[in-house]
Amino acid sequence: MFTWSDEKYKLGLKSVDEQHMELFNIAQDTFDLLNLESGDKYHEIMAVFTKLKNYAEMHFAHEEDLMIQTNYPRFSAHYEIHHQFLEKVEGILHDVNEETDEKVLINILTFAVDWITDHILKDDKYMAEFIILQTQGND
């Protein structure tokens, strides 16, 4: 369901692209877990979702460092988008419990992955283009 495509998602910043690929791998692992025909998977689902959140935190920090290093003009707005996403995910993790329906967990995962892919295609694409131009100018 969540498949990386170089043609669609590759930005040209190796470290960022590698981290984006890992986010897709984590999302796919979560999706696969949701589709297993077994009993209660709440703890496994939450563990993978927590992994997705933690990886996103690390990834966002990396992007923010790159933006600071290149004096990215949209840093504040991009940072705020990251912050809002992480706040929403924290709220979800706080509110979800063992009684939460699996469909709700699927909706949460879909929200997270949709947000990540949309963010890559819009905000991160613009950021990467700026950073590449800045770093080429320093050669």
Domain assignment present for residue 40? The answer is yes
pLDDT bin (cut points 50, 70, 90) of residue 139 is very low
Q: Which domain holds residue 73?
A: 13-136
Residue matched to tokens 């879909």 = 110
Domain assignment present for residue 83? The answer is yes
Provide the residue type at 45 as one letter: I
Which residue in 46, 19, 40 sits closest to 109, CA to CA?
Answer: 46
How many structural domains are present in the chain?
Answer: 1
Domain assignment present for residue 5? The answer is no
Tens digit of each residue's pLDDT (9 = 90 or more) over 28-87: 887 787 777 766 777 777 787 788 889 989 999 999 999 999 999 999 999 999 999 999
Domain assignment present for residue 1? The answer is no
Domain assignment present for residue 29? The answer is yes
Tens digit of each residue's pLDDT (9 = 90 or more) over 86-102: 998 888 878 777 777 66
Domain assignment present for residue 48? The answer is yes
CATH number at residue 70: 1.20.120.50
Domain assignment present for residue 101? The answer is yes
Domain assignment present for residue 6? The answer is no
What's the whole-model pTM score?
0.86
Using alpha carbons, list the distances in angstroms from residue 27 to 3, 18, 55, 71. 9, 14, 11, 31
